[in-house]
């Protein structure tokens, strides 16, 4: 084989490698859409606030949302699926704004309620509030606060949540509150059900029994390796073993869900998908209490990209990116210590 032929072959192999990696790699980068980020709060008049975030209220005659919202949406005209994201314990929904913009840039509308400012152990009010927000969306409440020409497809919604919000997302998928529209997908980001086994917060979601969580939609559980480890000798872990991601995934009933997957970033911590800057005392606590893997950008790209890939498959009907993560997990922006799938393909491989 002469030199020219070798160069041509090498070029073809490079193109093939790029094509094979593009399905997963693309979702980890910012998408093609510009993004609008708006706060929706009936209690405050229309104004501009820092960080380019618009604060608005629904027009007269339009009922306000049950809770204040942060809404990230594509700027390009069109109809887009909706993802409702539920924040973690005692944090602010805006701490995830960079994550929301990543997801929205790929063609999704992200609706993130501020479920509470201060809360006790019981999550029942949060479950009911999240269900009420989905009802408000189904009634068309979002239409007045989106960019011109942008429409929300609310025939079904997907639900996601981080930490305690991941538990609330599971509760909704388990039918703990009646929903106005079906759930299309469930994405739980390092979910937590209490302080430890036997110390769960009401209503307890985990049962301690395999295949007991009969959720109503395909489910992805994203975990962190450092979340199970304490930041110091006087601090408890932020995602204690036995009530966090591995337990949620281990109790999923794939027959009810249709499919499930479990992806763990072993070298990152419980809050590492949040914004680079989380202001105020609460923002400072997100770095002081939970053990961290360092820079947040890689973990945020991973969580955003994995979420987009999962939604693309189960909402958009395009499984290329999810299949890419499954086949080539090393191409994720973080090292994955666990890559598990429960579906027909996985079952066939074990037979």
Residues 6+ apart with CB under 8 A from 340: 249, 261, 262, 263
* Sheet with strand 69-74: strands edge to edge: 47-48, 54-56, 35-40, 69-74, 109-113, 78-86, 150-162, 183-189, 219-224, 260-265, 336-342
CA angle 21, 27, 31 (to 5 degrees): 125
CB 264 within 8 A of CB 220: no
Residue 9 pairs with which residues in a beta bridge?
none
The enclosing H or E element of 4 equals helix 3-25
Catalytic residue among 33, 270, 272, 275: 270
CA separation for the pair 188, 190 (Å, rounded)? 6
Instruction: From 121, 120, 99, select the one nearest 110 (Cα to Cα).
Output: 99
CA separation for the pair 39, 48 (Å, rounded)? 10
Catalytic residue among 33, 57, 158, 190: 190
Interhelix angle 320-327/3-25, rounded to 10 degrees, is 110
Q: Is 163 a catalytic residue?
A: yes
Residues 6+ apart with CB under 8 A from 113: 65, 66, 67, 68, 69, 70, 84, 86, 87, 93, 129, 130, 133
Q: Is 102 a catalytic residue?
A: no
Catalytic residue among 163, 216, 244, 292: 163
Q: Is 153 a catalytic residue?
A: no
DSSP state of 136: H
CA separation for the pair 133, 113 (Å, rounded)? 8
CA separation for the pair 350, 154 (Å, rounded)? 38
3-class secondary structure, 339: strand
The full length of the chain comes to: 351
Active site residues: 163, 190, 270
């Amino acid at each position: 084989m002469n030199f020219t032929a070798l160069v041509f072959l090498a070029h073809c192999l490079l193109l093939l490698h790029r094509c094979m990696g593009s399905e997963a790699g693309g979702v980890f980068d910012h998408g093609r859409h510009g993004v609008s980020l708006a706060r929706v709060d009936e209690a405050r008049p229309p104004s501009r606030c820092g960080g380019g975030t618009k604060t608005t209220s629904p027009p007269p005659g339009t009922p306000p949302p049950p809770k204040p919202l942060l809404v990230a949406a594509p700027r390009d005209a069109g109809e887009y699926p909706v993802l409702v994201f539920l924040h973690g314990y005692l944090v602010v929904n805006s701490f995830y704004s960079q994550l929301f913009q990543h997801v929205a840039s790929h063609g999704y509308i992200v609706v993130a309620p501020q479920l509470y400012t201060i809360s006790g152990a019981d999550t029942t009010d949060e479950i009911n509030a999240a269900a009420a927000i989905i009802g408000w969306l189904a009634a068309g409440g979002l239409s007045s606060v989106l960019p011109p020409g942008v429409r929300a497809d609310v025939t079904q919604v997907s639900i996601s949540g981080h930490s305690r919000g991941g538990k609330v997302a599971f509760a909704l998928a388990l039918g703990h509150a009646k929903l106005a529209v079906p759930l299309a997908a469930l994405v739980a980001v390092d979910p937590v059900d209490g302080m430890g086994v036997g110390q769960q917060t009401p209503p307890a979601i985990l049962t301690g029994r395999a295949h007991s969580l009969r959720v109503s939609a395909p489910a992805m559980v994203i975990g962190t390796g450092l979340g199970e480890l304490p930041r110091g000798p006087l601090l408890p872990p932020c995602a204690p073993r036995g009530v966090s991601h591995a337990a949620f995934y281990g109790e999923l009933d794939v027959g009810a869900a249709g499919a499930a997957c479990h992806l763990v970033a072993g070298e990152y911590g419980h809050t590492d998908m949040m914004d680079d800057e989380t202001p105020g005392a609460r923002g400072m606590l997100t770095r002081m209490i939970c053990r961290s893997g360092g820079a947040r950008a890689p973990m945020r790209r991973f969580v955003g990209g994995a979420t987009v890939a999962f939604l693309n498959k189960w909402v958009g009907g395009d499984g290329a990116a999810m299949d890419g993560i499954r086949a080539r997990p090393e191409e994720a922006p973080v090292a994955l210590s666990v890559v598990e799938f429960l579906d027909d393909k996985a079952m066939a491989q074990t037979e």
